[in-house]
Amino acid sequence: MSAIGPLAGLIAGRDAAPDGYVRLDVEPEVWTELAQGCAAGSHDLSALWVDDDRVCMALGGEGLRAIVSLRTEAGAYPSVAAHHAPAMRLERAMRDLHGVRPVGLPDTRPWLDHGRWPGRESAARYKFLTAEGEGLHQIAVGPVHAGIIEPGHFRFTANGETVVRLEERLGYVHKGVEGLLAGADVARGAAIVGRISGDSTVAYAWAFARAVEAALGWAVPPRAVLLRGIMAELERLSHHINDVGGICNDASVLTINARCTLQREDVLAVANACFGHRLMMDRIVPGGVTVDLSADGIGRIRGLLSRLEETRAEILRVYDSMPSLQDRTVTTGIVSPDLVRQYAAGGFVGRAAGRAFDTRKNFPYAPYDQLPFDIKTRTTSDVDARLLVRMDEIAESLKIVGLMLDWLALGDIRSCGPAAVASEGAALVEAFRGDVFRSVRIAASGTLARVHVRDASWFQWPLLEAAVEGNIVADFPLCNKSFNCSYSGHDL
Amino acid sequence: MTGNLVVQFLAQGAQMFFVLLIAPLAVGVVRRVKARLMRRQGAPLLQGYRDLAKLLRKESVVAENASWLFRSAPSLIFALTWVAAALIPTFASGLMYNWAADVVALVALLGAARALLALAGMDVGTSFGGIGSSREMMIATLAEPAMMLIVLTLAIAAGTTRLAGVADFFIAEPLAVRVSMALSLLALVIVALAENARIPVDNPVTHLELTMVHEAMVLEYSGRHLALIEAAGMLKLVLYLSLLICLFAPFGMAPATAGVDGWALGLLAWTVKLLGGAALLGVWEVSIAKMRVFRLPDFVGIAFVFAFLAILLAFLSRGAIE
């Protein structure tokens, strides 16, 4: 293979669609070659999904993006996971949801299908991977937990207190989102997408809106673009501050958590006052946003920014001055940077391992293409690094929200949509967890023919298994919180 | 003389019920202080009583494969802890059964309660119970020897293993800073934190099954069983606070010859010191992170080292005097 990699060679000379993706149909040989390219590290696997009788693969490399599709032969196609492990769960889910047959898929256990769906019940037991050795014992945790959190099952194999293997079992909150979206009109689609994962509703809705806008050639007023940016950063701020508190809480430092909880509440209250909804759900729709920000609201957000800056500085000071807390976070839950690169994990998981990827920077979209901000990375890849990356991002977000408020000029916040045509669009948006991918195919009638939703967690959950290995059982909650992967966004 | 005996008996009985009565309040104070320091309103001080009353009224759900041990352990643990807590001189040193308040007996009672709890934790066969029991025993193997050394240090100083005698000795002796006493105090505080499942050893309010120690063992208990276990936990807190007070801050305690007036004063002093100790615990708990499980041996090991140094110094200083 040439030095520029198989992807660059393939798409050389082709024009990208308005959404930045080069689309092309490929033959099975090229498909497999691209899968091997993912494994070799020449490009990243971004998403993999089934669309009618085709399988599609979104790939990303240095400044280039492509969606390649392959026609399946009666549902069969060459497995990507056979060459590139990160595709494993994606393909297992594709088998469950669409009945395709990835030929050569190494792990053929179901993933989202727990044998409970009407019409296809199965009593077959799920076989967890084995770990054998003297003195090993299993600990089953979940799916119902002692705290109020989402459901997921964790199967630990431990030797005393040391974790030998962790295996996750997800899919408990599967709700058939992609089925609901098929055939829905665009407005309903936006409402459904905004409800897939409530904690990332802004990012999800934005990604969906951008995909639809790219497909239809729908222009968005500049004021709406900035408002979207402000909402997305407020969402990021509220979750980062909450996660920092949550990590400290899991190390039993209740004071930092109390402070963070108060600060998060402050963000949500301001969001409610400015945009009419604490989580800003349904505020971003294709074509713009549904609520405008008043002058009073701008003042509120500016006040919030200064309070957040104060809290951030104070928490950082307390964190730095607590050796007993750092003793818990430093060197806990290390994921090897090689694995992070292989899985192309985004968000704080990637950036804490030195992977300088942020959609806002690498594939910039308005308004981030104009905004000056830095991507801070760390290299230790432990709980401490993931916490500090969040703290760094809070600082950057505060800076750019202030800039966006400065730039906010009067104008429309929503534009009318162009006439519907059969079209396709895709978008990558940086949610607080990392990059979320949306692909939308619109039918000639204007309804959604196929929407694919890929959360950042698909490539972070498997890394959690790796991070916990070799740690002690009691440190799992800390590692888990530092990843804070989505259940609902993953189970679809 | 008979009248005196009756009064003595009543006083001893009163002490027994005082420790039980005040236990939920002490825990309430710890929780309230913690909540306030985190800028939360916090539950009312009397919440502990309500919780116990609620649990006592509720049905007890027992796993199908639970043995007699699982059912009887809560009552036994409660009884053992209560007896242990009632033995410690609280407001007066000259009570009727003070001769039984032997520190070695105290350690034995607590050890028996702990062994029962660890067995009950493993009885139903859930993985969390097993984890909790194994961690509890790991902590116990370190905390118990330290505890023995501490009490022996004090016994050497006072010339008796009777707690009342030790308290009398410290009341009578002019306050002098002794290195061995200071080391014992530090060691006993660490042991008390470990034994009561407080931060940094364990987190009493956690919902994370995987990090629990004490809570993991009692996860399967409900209803009146849980009420007894919870009450035993509260009593244990009072026990250790009383022990610290009795040994290191016994001033105000009524001497053996005091009458009812002296007892009332002693009771007041003890209550104030106990609740003050509970408040201090609350402050301590919000200012530190929980330790990694494998760091616990270091922490509790410090208690052992301090206790060992204390007893060594106590021996040496005794030799010097003689």
Write the pLDDT tens digit of every residue in A24-76.
988 899 899 889 988 988 889 999 999 988 999 999 888 788 999 999 998 89
- Computed over every residue of chain B, the mean pLDDT equals 86
The CA distances from residue A136 to A161, B74, B213, in Å, are 10, 31, 20
Asked if the Cβ–Cβ distance from A251 to B287 is below 8 Å, we say no
Classify residue A363 by its DSSP letter: S
Task: Give the single-character DSSP code of A414.
Answer: B
* Contact between A474 and B206 using a beta-carbon 8 Å cutoff: no
Beta carbons of A473 and B289 less than 8 Å apart: no
Q: Given B38, B208, B211, which is nearest A254 (Cβ)? A: B38
**CA pair distance B114, B132, nearest whole angstrom:** 12
Candidate from B24-33, B209-218, B300-309 with smallest mean pLDDT: B209-218
pLDDT > 70: percent of chain B = 95
- Strands A21-25 and A65-71, how do they pair? parallel
Q: Do A475 and B289 touch (CB under 8 A)?
A: no
Q: Give first-to-last CA distance, chain A, whole Å.
A: 37
> What pLDDT, on a 0 to 100 scale, did the predictor assign at position B2?
54
Nearest to B207 among A146, A328, A473 (CB): A146
What local confidence, expressed as pLDDT, does residue A100 receive?
A: 92
The angle, 0 to 180 degrees and rounded to 10, between the axes of the packed helices B223-248 and B103-123 is 150
User: A137 touching B, CB under 8 A?
Assistant: yes
Tell me whether strands A76-78 and A101-103 are parallel, antiparallel or unpaired: parallel
**Is the pLDDT reported for residue A184 higher than 50?**
yes
Looking at the complex, does the CB of residue A384 fall below 8 Å from at least one CB of chain B?
Answer: no
pLDDT digits (tens, 9 = 90+) for A128-142: 888 888 888 888 887
Contacts of A255 in chain B (CB under 8 A): 37-38, 286-287
Q: Does B34 sit within 8 Å of A324, measured CB to CB?
A: no
pLDDT-derived band at B102, boundaries 50, 70, 90: confident
Res B256: pLDDT:
66
How distant is the Cα of A371 from the closest Cα of chain B, in angstroms? 37
Instruction: Tell whether A320 lies on the interface with B, counting CB pairs under 8 A.
Output: no
Biggest CA–CA distance in chain B, Å, is 63
User: At which residue do the structure tokens 């009950």 appear?
Assistant: B120
What residues in A contact B294, CB-CB < 8 Å?
A: 161, 472
| Residues 176-205, chain B, touching A (beta carbon < 8 A) | 199-200, 203, 205
Mutate to test the interface with A, among B208, B287, B290 (most CBs of A within 10 A): B208
Which pLDDT does position A303 carry in this prediction?
94
Q: Give the confidence band of A2 by pLDDT, cuts at 50, 70, 90.
A: very low
Write down the pLDDT at residue B159: 83
* Minimal CA separation from B288 to chain A, in Å: 6
In Å, how far is A315's CA from the nearest CA of chain B? 14
Chain A contact set for B40 (CB, 8 A): 258
**Is there a contact between B210 and A139 if contact means CB atoms under 8 Å apart?**
yes
Strand A153-159 and strand A162-169: pairing? antiparallel
Other beta carbons less than 10 A from residue A206's beta carbon: 29
Tokens of B92: 């007066």
Query: On the CB side of A258, how many CA atoms lie within 13 Å of its CA?
Result: 16
CA–CA distance, B240 with B163 (Å, rounded to integer): 13
The 8 Å CB, 24+ separation contacts for B171-180 are B171/B93, B171/B250, B171/B251, B171/B253, B171/B255, B178/B317, B179/B310, B179/B313, B180/B153, B180/B309, B180/B310, B180/B311, B180/B313, B180/B314, B180/B317
ipTM exceeding 0.85, yes/no: no
Q: Assess contact for B58 and B230: CB atoms under 8 A.
A: no
Residues on chain B touching A472 (C-beta within 8 angstroms): 292-294
Q: A433, exposed or middle or buried, with CB in 10 Å at 0-12, 13-18, 19+?
A: buried
Residues recorded for chain A: 492
Burial of A359 (0-12, 13-18, 19+ CB in 10 A): buried
Nearest to B289 among A160, A252, A472 (CB): A252
C-beta atoms surrounding B13 within 10 Å: 14
Q: For residue B3, what pLDDT is reported? A: 61
Give the start-to-end residue ranges of the domains of chain B: 2-317
How much is the mean pLDDT over chain A?
Answer: 90
End-to-end CA distance of chain B: 40
How far apart are alpha carbons B225 and B52 in whole angstroms?
A: 10
Tell me if chain B has a CB within 8 Å of the CB of A150. Answer: no
For range B57-73, the mean pLDDT: 91
Cβ(A176)–Cβ(A196) under 8 Å? no
SS3 A47: strand
pLDDT at A4 over 60: no
Distance CA B94, CA B101 (A): 11
Q: Rounded distance, CA B179 to CA B313, Å?
A: 8
Average pLDDT over residues A140-152: 84
Is A474 in contact with B293 (Cβ distance < 8 A)? Answer: yes
Q: What pLDDT digit, counting tens, does each position of A390-402 carry?
A: 999 999 999 999 9
Q: With both helix axes pointing from N to C terminus, report the angle between A254-275 and B260-286 in degrees, rounded to the nearest 10.
A: 60
In this structure, are residues A66 and A10 in contact, taking their beta carbons and an 8 Å threshold?
yes
Best of A137, A254, A479 to disrupt the B interface (most B CBs within 10 Å) is A254
Strand order across the beta sheet in which A162-169 lies = A136-141, A153-159, A162-169
Q: Three-state SS for A423?
A: strand
- Residues of A in Cβ contact (< 8 Å) with B208: 146-147, 250, 477
A475 touches chain B (CB under 8 A): yes
| Amino acid residing at A312 | R
| Closest Cα in chain A, distance from residue B38 (Å) | 5
Residues B159-184 have a mean pLDDT of 78
> What pLDDT shows up at residue B287?
83
Rounded Cα–Cα distance for residues B135 and B144 (Å):
14
Cis peptide, bond prior to residue A106, ω within 30 of zero? no
Q: How far is CA A187 from the centre of its chain?
A: 23
Token reading at A469: 């290995």
**A328 to B207: CB separation less than 8 angstroms, yes or no:** no
Q: Quick one: which of A403, A349, A402, A383 has its CA closest to A475? A: A383
Q: Work out the pLDDT band at B124, boundaries 50, 70, 90.
A: confident
Which chain A residue has the Cα nearest residue B299?
A: A324
pLDDT at B164: 80
Tell me the pLDDT tens digit for each residue of B33-46: 999 988 889 999 99
What is residue A282's DSSP assignment? T
Neighbours of A298 (CB within 10 A): 15
Of the listed ranges A54-68, A193-207, A314-328, B283-297, the one predicted with least confidence: B283-297
B295 secondary structure, DSSP code: G
The torsion region of residue A382 among left (phi > 0), alpha (psi -120 to 50) and beta comes to: beta
What pLDDT, in 10s, does the model give residues B199-251?
Answer: 888 887 777 778 888 888 888 899 999 999 999 999 999 999 998 988 888 88
Q: For residue A5, what pLDDT is reported?
A: 66
3-state SS assignment for residue B195: helix
What helix, strand, coil percent values describe chain A, rounded to 5? 45, 15, 40
Burial call B52-80: b when 16+ CB within 10 Å, e when fewer: beebeeeebeeeeebeeebeebbebbbeb
CA distance A355 to A346: 8
C-beta of residue A387 within 8 angstroms of C-beta of residue A262: no
Whole-number pLDDT of residue A455: 92
Chain A residues whose CB is inside 8 A of the B128 CB are: 139
The total of other beta-carbon atoms located within 10 Å of residue A40's CB is 13
CA distance B260 to B11: 9
Q: Is the pLDDT of residue A419 over 50?
A: yes
How many other CB atoms sit within 10 Å of the CB of residue B266? Answer: 21
What pLDDT score does B169 carry? 81
Whether residues A475 and B292 touch (CB distance < 8 A) is answered with yes
**What mean pLDDT is predicted for residues A85-112?**
91
| Interior angle at CA A277, CA A276 and CA A280, nearest 5 | 115
**Nearest residue to A112 (alpha-carbon basis) of A166, A200, A175, A154:** A175
Residue B234 corresponds to which tokens in the numbers above? 């509260």
Considering only CB atoms, which chain B residues are within 8 Å of A139? 127-128, 131, 210
**Which residues in chain A have Cβ-Cβ distances shorter than 8 Å to B34?**
254
Which chain B residue's Cα is nearest to A163? B210
User: A473 contacts in B (CB within 8 Å)?
Assistant: 131, 210, 293
Q: Exposure of B43 by Cβ count < 10 A (0-12 exposed, 13-18 middle, 19+ buried)?
A: middle
CA B28 to chain centre: 16
Q: Are B277 and B107 in contact (CB under 8 A)?
A: no
Residue predicted with more confidence, B316 or B44: B44
Q: Does A145 touch chain B (CB under 8 A)?
A: yes
- B31 and A CB contact within 8 Å: no
Token digits for A19?
Answer: 């959404």
Structure tokens at A132: 């054998």
Instruction: Tell whether A430 is within 8 A of chain B (Cβ).
Output: no
Average pLDDT over residues A229-255: 91
How far is the alpha carbon of A322 from chain B, nearest alpha carbon, in Å? 8
Query: With an 8 Å Cβ cutoff, are A472 and B34 in contact?
Result: no
- Is A426 in contact with A337 (CB distance < 8 Å)? no
The answer, for A253 touching chain B at a CB cutoff of 8 Å, is yes
Of the candidates B314, B217, B276, B307, the one whose C-alpha atom is nearest the C-alpha of residue B22 is B276
Asked whether the beta carbons of A276 and A294 are under 8 A apart, the reply is: no
Return d(Cα B158, Cα B154) in angstroms, integer: 6
How far is residue A99's CA from residue A118's CA, in Å, rounded to a whole number? Answer: 15
Contacts of B295 in chain A (CB under 8 A): 327
